[in-house]
Structure 1
Amino acid sequence: MTAPLRILVYSSNTNTRAEVTTAIGKHPDSALPEFEYIEVASEPMVIHHLDTGGIDLAILDGEATPAGGMGVAKQLKDEIEHCPPLVVLTGRPDDRWLADWSGAEAAVSHPIDPFVLTRAVTELLRN
């Protein structure tokens, strides 16, 4: 049996974390192992989990407070040598340039479209 892929979901909003995990589900792509979610509500916990290792992909809420996901993404890309792929949730489609600045490999805007989010996540994990 293949170990599950570990997906970190960061948002200060419990509803956003639930929306992300529900939108993607546990096994969205038969070519990939099942997903295991690690939900965190604070920047220090994001840093802790990524420093510890074993995270295959992180989804960061750009609207999180007090530390927004785009700033957290930039810090992770600058400070973690083998940073996993990052998906940033933006407030609107026009904020894509901020996600590019952060170094995130993908951006998905609110409201979250389950198909768009799942496609972004599975494409990053397949590569």
Structure 2
Amino acid sequence: MSSPVASETLTVLVFSHRPEVREAITMAIGRRPAPDLGRIKFHETGAIADVLVALDAGEIDLCILDGEAQPTGGMGLSRQLKNEIDDCPPIVVTVRRRDDRWLATWSQADAVLVHPLDPLTAAETVADVLRRSRAGDLPAVRS
């Protein structure tokens, strides 16, 4: 994969059954998480079927999944996507409790964010995962 280009638009899928959680995620990350990355276009959804359709279309650069989503949480969905989708885009999982970060290891997520989301940390984490993805260098989960 090539390096991200500052003029490139990147598509970030945000999944949660709760619109206010999706809004908190998009607001924390912002439209430009780092100067060396392109602008972010958010694809928000509350339905797993929509996640699968978007990933099958192959136009998602990063997924952010709410670990507390109902009825299926983002951690279980992350594990399913990583095991079932060839060339699965990187995944960031959000959790409510700092102690739940270990579950991201099980979920095979590439990174984890803890609510309440700190905008600086959220933007840096997303930018880092996007850069590592483009460089083909995504090691185990980091938080």
- Tell me which interval the TM-score lies in, with the shorter structure as reference length: over 0.9
Are 2:25 and 1:54 aligned?
A: no
| CA distance, structure 1, for counterparts of residue 128 and residue 62 of structure 2 | 11
Residue 114 of structure 1: how far off its partner (Å): 1.4
| CA distance, structure 1, for counterparts of residue 59 and residue 129 of structure 2 | 16
| CA distance, structure 1, for counterparts of residue 8 and residue 36 of structure 2 | 13
Residue 93 of structure 1: aligned partner? 98
Residue 14 of structure 2: aligned partner? 9
Alignment equivalent of 1:67, drawn from 49, 66, 72: 72
Structure 1: 4+ residue segments shifted above 4 A: none
Q: Are the counterparts in 1 of residues 34 and 124 from structure 2 also a CA contact under 8 Å?
A: no
CA displacement, residues 5-56 of structure 1 (integer Å, 9 cap, x when unaligned): 0000000010011111111111121100100000000111111111111100
Alignment equivalent of 2:81, drawn from 52, 62, 76: 76
Q: Are the counterparts in 1 of residues 104 and 112 from structure 2 also a CA contact under 8 Å?
A: yes
| CA distance, structure 2, for counterparts of residue 3 and residue 115 of structure 1 | 21
The residue type equivalent to 2:91 in the other structure is: L
Residue 28 of structure 1: aligned partner? 33
Are 2:60 and 1:45 aligned?
A: no
Query: Between the two proteins, what is the percent identity of the paired residues?
Result: 46
| TM-score normalised by length of structure 2 | 0.85
Residue 2 of structure 1: how far off its partner (Å): 3.4
Aligned residue pairs, count: 127
Q: Are the counterparts in 1 of residues 33 and 124 from structure 2 also a CA contact under 8 Å?
A: no
Unaligned 5+ residue runs, structure 2? 1-5, 133-143
Q: Are the counterparts in 1 of residues 14 and 22 from structure 2 also a CA contact under 8 Å?
A: yes
| CA distance, structure 2, for counterparts of residue 118 and residue 3 of structure 1 | 17
Q: Are the counterparts in 1 of residues 7 and 37 from structure 2 also a CA contact under 8 Å?
A: no
| TM-score normalised by length of structure 1 | 0.95
Aligned to 2:105, the other structure's residue is in SS state helix
